[in-house]
Structure 1
Amino acid sequence: MGKTSNLISSTQSVIHEALDMLGFDEGMYDLIKEPERLLKVRIPVHMDDGSVKVFTGFRAQHSDAAGPTKGGIRFHPDVTEEEVIALSMWMTLKAGIVGLPYGGGKGGVICNPKELSDKELEGISRGYVRAISQIVGPAKDIPAPDVYTNAQVMAWMMDEYSVKHSDNAFEFITGKPIVLGGSQGRNTATAMGAVICVEQALLKRGIKIGDARVVVQGFGNAGSFISKILYDKGAKIVGVSRSTRALYDPNGIDIDYIIEHKDKVDVAKELDLEVVTNEELLELECDILIPAAIANQITVENAGRIRADIICEAANGPTTQEATAILTENGKLIVPDVLASAGGVTVSYFEWVQNKQGYYWNDEEIHELLVRKMKESFDEVYRVHDTRRVDMRLAAYVVGIKRTAEAIRYRHWA
């Protein structure tokens, strides 16, 4: 709880600074610093053993001034109210950075999906939608997948909402299976968005992707996809981490082999890789460091030892504010999380648009739209960073919060 509370306070601090730079007053900050709505729900589920277990869930809606709120739902034993609040605020920033007509939302249920059957997971999914149904909808709040939720969970949720409203409400939720109105490119969207940002950062630094040495911390969905895409583009992946240890080879790692044999214990021995700690991984010599694991990985303690020229934050909140200042002072180019991980919400927006119009784009069209959005967004953040002489995180917050603040001003809410 303490770490999450720190994430909230540090996010509020940067939002405050961004609003000051944009010329908004304290009344605007007072409205934006917390979610407009926070709902806590109790979800009764009939378990396989015949018992009834009650699960706790949350839905935070940060701001709907610029449009319906948008954000994922995570199923995890460590979900907290504070975490959901922080994530909803970041979703507002992400939507603003890529110019989407959304505010930020986020949801979660305290549970461990690894210990639940499909029937029990379906019960939680449908029960959650019933519990939050009064505050969600295609023009109110549009959920999506997040940690330990997937297309099947979204399908159950969409079906439950449709039953309640007696229609096929495909546009209620994104990240669905293709046959239920899902979009091409959604599964890899977050990773692809980060890769596009890496490519733009490399251009700013004058480094060719074929010459780039990359370290990726975290090898879940985001980390593995990012590693694979960059590897296929010719980059040299010199370090990757798994749950308890990291692998290093200055000559480059065979990512295809790592992915294919990710459950093998002796993969390091087979490929003759050096085993290092996750802490040591962050400080390896490389051109690009991609934290794609958990929050607070680069801190005041290790920021001065980071050797990467570019840090692209694929995880939420991997770098503290104090570390951001040190890295910026040392000439590092940071691609902040609210920009680097905006590919997911961007393709979710494309899915919502396709659902609303009943016309669907192919994978190539989705990719072209995503590339255009992410390049434009990176360039806008970099322009603010360059012209205002501020770090990339503050620049991203300035771009990200501007849309919501202006919508609030025009609506005369503050």
Structure 2
Amino acid sequence: MPDKSNRASLLADASKRLEEALKHVTISEDAIARLQHPKTSLSVSIPVRMDDGKLKVFSGYRVRYDDTRGAGKGGVRYHPHVTLDEVQSLAFWMTFKCALLDLPFGGAKGGIIVNPKELSKAELERLSRGYIDAIADAVGIDIDILAPDVYTNATIMGWMMDQYSTIRRQLCRGVVTGKPLALGGSQGRDTATAMGAFTVIQTMLPKFKLIPSETTVAVQGFGNAGATIADLLAEAGYKVVAVSDSQGGIYAPQGLDITSVKKHKNQSREMKAVYCHDSVCSIVEHQVISNQELLALDVDVLIPAALENQITASNAADIKAKYIFEVANGPINSDADKILAAKGIYVFPDILVNAGGVTVSYFEWVQNRSGWYWTLAEVNQRLQDKMLIEAEKTWSISQDLTIDIRTAAYVHALNRLGTALDAKGTKSYFTSGV
């Protein structure tokens, strides 16, 4: 896989997960060689005229890691700490995620180095349109399809689609997913990541005889995916005892009223344990904790739903949860995996758990191309069916081969990727004399 000499590289660390998986698949050297490098890595400069008249230049990236099984597919994140290595790693994960879910896509990702909270809405629009101006030749409905990610949303996706359509002089709805409904978006896309994760959780936990009302949950990351999964679990009867955002978290052993916490945060931008009745919210007893303290809570289920590298060798020994579901991309690094495995902790990997987002993005792409749009119930049912099938297949592989679930997920994806890559020809084919 990617060059192991760069030990500090997120991509090199991500590729370590495949070393074990490769022991359990029959895949050609040709296929392995092709997966060692991204197909394209584009770095761009985006000049933006700010509201005060000053010109500021932002750096952006778009990576298409592999498109053997179909057009590249992946989100665009706005974050001050975006790096090319990070974007390549995310595109790498997307390659395996799409294969795991048997979607006709390859893996891609994009990002801009920016703190979007420091920009006005007008500046944010100019930046988003400028990004498309810079990468327009590298994306397209059958080339590379964009979607929302960290600190990007439906409105930003709408700007990007509109700008690409302006450049091409034709309406190109399918080049971007996660758009507003009025611009060709799909029902259920805003909750897709959480809905997919919820299906995986509901599929897996009964295998361990866990009962929702007796199962405690902590969720790190209270953004769109984290808040929604917390809400879904609470509605299903799980006891969600802790949640956190970038500023810190709250913990209430008796359980949190997630609906009220969401309402209070949206109104006040503060994270507090509250109970709301109509417009009146009353603070209830809780502890204020840090993100690291949340990760170490003695709960049954831990859900990292924030950013990469939240659980590493430095804090993995502190983890007490028995089951971890990765809603974020890459929240656990490879060194931590070994420590968690030694502690008997089950880790359900990101390429399975958070694949609901790209799955409904696929549905949106299909609807855009056909002009036939589905109801919310249809989207959610199709998503549930897709996630259930691949979750069960991954579980069966882990049981049949006696391997951990992350390795099983990569084995499942590699089998599909290997078949597609080998269909283009291998060393054995070209040296067979046929």
- Identity of aligned pairs, percent? 45
The aligned counterpart of 1:37 is: 40
Q: Given the alignment of the two structures, is residue 241 of structure 1 paired with residue 244 of structure 2, yes or no?
A: yes
- After superposition, the Cα gap between the structure-2 partners of 1:264 and 1:170, relative to the gap in structure 1 and judged at 3 Å, is closer
Q: Which residue of 2 aligns with 1:359?
A: 372
Gaps of 5+ in 2: 275-282, 428-434
Deviates further, 352-361 or 396-405: 396-405
Partner of 2:338: 325
Consecutive unaligned residues in structure 1, runs of 5 or more: none
1:98: which partner in 2? 101
Task: Please show how residues 161-172 of structure 1 align to structure 2 within 5 Å.
Answer: 161-172=164-175
In 1, are the aligned partners of 2:64 and 2:108 still within 8 Å (CA)? yes
Is the Cα–Cα contact under 8 Å of residues 199 and 209 in structure 1 kept in the other structure? Answer: no
C-alpha displacement at 1:32, in angstroms? 0.3
From 72, 78, 86, the equivalent of 1:69 is: 72
2:422 equivalent in structure 1: 409
Q: Which of 203, 223, 234 lines up with 1:220 in the alignment? A: 223
Distance 2:136 2:414 in 1: 27
1:154 offset after TM fit, Å?
Answer: 1.1
Q: Any idea what SS the aligned residue of 1:285 has?
A: coil
- Answer with 152-161 or 401-410: which moved more: 401-410
Letter in 2 for 1:366: V
Q: Deviations over 1:182-225 (max 9, x none)?
A: 00000011111111111112111111223221111121222111
Match in the other structure for 2:272? 267
Structure 1 stretch displaced more, 264-273 or 361-370? 264-273
Q: CA deviation at 1:50?
A: 2.2
1:194 matches 2:207: no
Q: CA offset at residue 268 of structure 1?
A: 4.9
**Equivalence for 2:301:** 288
Match of 2:410 in 1: 397
Partners of 2:74 and 2:358 within 8 A in 1: yes
Structure 1: how far apart are the matches of 2:33 and 2:314?
32
1:228, distance to aligned residue in structure 2 (A): 0.8
Residue 183 in structure 1 maps to residue 186 in structure 2: yes
User: 1:16 and 1:26, CA in 2 relative to 1: closer, same or farther beyond 3 A?
Assistant: farther
Matched-pair contact (CA < 8 Å) for 2:45–2:59: yes
Number of equivalenced pairs: 413
* TM-score normalized with structure 2 length: 0.90
Q: Distance in 1 between matches of 2:426 and 2:106?
A: 15
Residues 245, 47 of structure 1: CA spacing in aligned structure 2 closer, same or farther, 3 A cutoff?
A: closer
The equivalent of 2:88 in structure 1 is 85
**1:272-307, CA deviations, whole angstroms, 9 ceiling, x for partnerless residues?**
112233222222222211111222222334333422
Q: Which amino acid aligns with 1:322?
A: D
Listed one character per residue, the Cα deviations across residues 12-53 of structure 1 (whole Å, up to 9, x for unaligned) are: 222243234212244322220221100111122222222322
Partner of 2:312: 299
Contact persistence 1:201–1:333 (CA under 8 A): no
Query: In the alignment, which residue of structure 1 is the partner of 2:430?
Result: none
Higher deviation after alignment, 184-193 or 395-404: 395-404
- Change in 2 beyond 3 A, CA 1:49/1:275: closer
Asked if 1:334 corresponds to 2:332, the answer is no
Range that drifts further, 334-343 or 320-329: 320-329
Q: Find the partner of 1:114 among 113, 117, 125.
A: 117
* 1:279 and 2:284 correspond: no
TM (norm. structure 1) is 0.95
Q: Which residue pairs with 2:431 in the alignment?
A: none
Q: Is the Cα–Cα contact under 8 Å of residues 282 and 289 in structure 1 kept in the other structure?
A: yes
Aligned pair in 2 of structure 1 residues 380, 135: CA closer, same or farther (>3 Å)?
same
**8 A Cα contact 1:94 1:339, kept in partner:** yes
* From 315, 318, 322, the counterpart of 1:309: 322
Question: Any idea what SS the aligned residue of 1:89 has?
Answer: helix
Deviation at 1:320, TM superposition (A): 2.1
In 1, Cα distance between equivalents of 2:272 and 2:68: 50
Contact 1:238/1:252 (8 A) holds in 2: yes
Question: What is the RMSD of the two structures over their aligned residues, measured on CA atoms?
Answer: 2.0
- Find the counterpart in structure 2 of residue 157 from structure 1: 160
The ranges of structure 1 where at least 4 consecutive aligned residues each deviate by more than 6 angstroms after the TM superposition are: none
For 1:151 and 1:323, how far apart are their aligned partners in 2? 34
Residue among 357, 381, 385 paired with 2:398? 385
Matched AA of 2:99: G
Q: 1:378 to 1:164 in 2, by over 3 A?
A: same
Aligned pair in 2 of structure 1 residues 171, 288: CA closer, same or farther (>3 Å)? Answer: same
Asked if the contact 1:288/1:311 (under 8 Å) is kept, the reply is: yes
> Deviations along 1:140-174, whole A, 9 cap, x unmatched?
00001111111111111111111122211111110
Deviation at 1:332, TM superposition (A): 2.2
Q: Check 1:116–1:276 CA distance in 2 against 1; reply closer, same or farther (3 A cut).
A: closer
C-alpha change, 1:331 and 1:152, in structure 2 (3 Å) is: same
Structure 2 SS opposite 1:174: coil
TM-superposition CA deviations, 1:310-353 (whole Å, max 9, x none) = 11011121112232223233332211111111010000000000
Match in the other structure for 2:280: none
Q: Give the superposition deviation at 1:5.
A: 4.2
Note the C-alpha offset of 1:266. Answer: 8.2
The residue type paired with residue 78 of structure 1 is H
Residue 365 of structure 2 aligns with an amino acid whose one-letter code is: W
Structure 1 residues 246-255 or 171-180, which shifts more?
246-255
CA distance in 2, matches of 1:346, 1:139: 17
- Could you say if the C-alpha distance between residues 403 and 266 of structure 1 is closer, same or farther in structure 2, counting changes exceeding 3 Å? closer
1:345–1:149 CA distance, 2 compared to 1 (3 A): same
- CA deviation map 1:238-265 (0-9, x unaligned): 1112333322222111112211112365
CA contact (8 A) 1:15 1:397 kept: yes
> Quick one: distance in 1 between partners of 2:172 and 2:323?
42
Q: Distance in 2 between matches of 1:301 and 1:117?
A: 38
